[in-house]
Amino acid sequence: MTLSAPEKLRRFYDQFSGHDHVLVVINADPDAIASAMAVSRLLWHKATTVTISHVNIINRPDNLTMLRLLKVSMLPFGDADPARYNKIVIVDSQPDHNEFMAQLSPDIIIDHHPETNARAPFSDIRPHYGATATILTEYLRAAKIKPSVKLATGLFHAIKTDTNSFKGQTVIEDVRAFQYLFRHANMHLARRIEKADLRLGFLKYFKIALQNMRLRKGRAYVHLGPVVNPDVCVIIADFFMRIISVNWSIVSGICDKKLVVIFRNDGIRKNAGDVVQKSFGQFGSAGGHKNMARAEMALSDLPQQIDFRDDKKLLSWLINRVEKRAGKK
C-alpha cells in the first residue's frame, strides 16, 4: 500500500519525543546537504538539538560554495560523539554505502538510492525518485512549512543536480517539487552554486585527461592516476559527456589507497549502474543509476596481476572489464 505524504510525515514525527538530540549523518553532496537542511527544519520545535554530520571530506567547489552561501553548519563525523545523540537520521544514503555509516543503527533512513535491505524503525526509500530532496520537499509541504529562501534554493539545486537537469532519472514528483521550489528559491544564489565547480589546481587533470583519453565505440575512457579528490573524476567525466561523439564517459583515479571509477552516459542505452556493478562489484562497492554510477575499490582488493602504478596497464584492465559487460553501445 502506498502511503500518502501526510501519513509518511506523521510516522516520521512519531519517531521523536520533543526532547531528542538528533544526529543527521550524510555523505555530503548537494542532495544530501539540502535533505539534511530539510530534516533540521522539519524538527524545529520537535527536537531539542539537531546536528548535521558529514562522513566525507568536502572539497568540491560547488559543495563548499553551497555550504557558504546557504550558511549550513556541519560537523565532521569524526568530531561527533554518537553517544551524545539518542536519534540517528541518515538521508540520501544507507548504512551499507559507507564504512562509518555501517557502524550506526539509524532510527530513520530517507533515501532515493537502490535498496540495500537497510533496516530502521522508520525508513522511506524510493529508488524511482531522482532526488532525496524531492522526498523531503513532500514532507515540508505535508507539514505546511514554507521553506526559507536558503532552504528552497538548496533543495532546488539538489533536484537539478541529481536529475542532471531532468536528463537523468526523473519522475513527475521531481518535476512538481522543482516547480514548487522555483517559487521560493533565489535564482542568483542557485546559479552561483551551480557555476562554482572548478579549482585552479584541478586544471592540470584536464591536461592529463586530454592526453590520455581513449575513445572506443562512443565510450571515452580516462585514467587520471593519483588525484587529490575523487570529485576530480566526476568533473572530468561530466566534461567528456559534452563531446558530441561520446555516449559514455568512464573516468578513474586513485585516492586514499582506493581506485575510484566514475561512469556517465546519455541515459539512452544500457544502465550505468548495472554495468558498473557487473564490472567492479566483486572488488568493492559499485552501483548507481541509469546515467550515472560509481565504483570504489581498495587497491589491496584488486587482482594481484594488476599493477596500479602503471597507468596504461590499469586503464587497459578497466577498458577490458567494461567492454565485456557493456557490449554494444
Distance CA 162, CA 64 (A): 17
Cβ atoms of 221 and 329 within 8 Å: the answer is no
For residue 100, report the phi and psi dihedrals to the nearest 5 degrees.
-75, -40
Mean pLDDT of 220-241: 92
Whole-Å CA distances, 181 to 4, 91, 191, 194: 20, 19, 15, 16
Each residue of 141-193: pLDDT tens digit?
Answer: 999 999 999 999 999 999 999 998 887 789 999 999 999 999 999 999 999 99
Q: What predicted TM-score, i.e. pTM, was given to this entire model? A: 0.69
Residue 250: its pLDDT value, please? 96
pLDDT in the model for residue 197: 66
User: SS in 3 state form for 204-244?
Assistant: HHHHHHHHHCEEECCEEEEEEEECCCCHHHHHHHHHHCCCC
Q: What is the pLDDT of residue 328?
A: 53
Domains of the chain: 5-195 (3.90.1640.10), 201-326 (3.10.310.40)
What distance in Å separates the CA atoms of residue 202 and residue 59, rounded to the nearest whole number?
Answer: 11
On the question of pLDDT at 2 being above 90, the answer is no
pLDDT at 131 over 70: yes
φ/ψ of 306, rounded to 5, equals -85, 120
% of residues, the chain, pLDDT over 90: 70
Q: What is the mean pLDDT of residues 122-135?
A: 96
CA distance 139 to 120: 18
* Pairing of β 219-226 and β 214-216: antiparallel
Average confidence (pLDDT) over 224-249:
92
- What pLDDT does 329 receive? 47
Alpha-carbon distances of 218 from 29, 245, 313, rounded to whole Å: 29, 6, 21
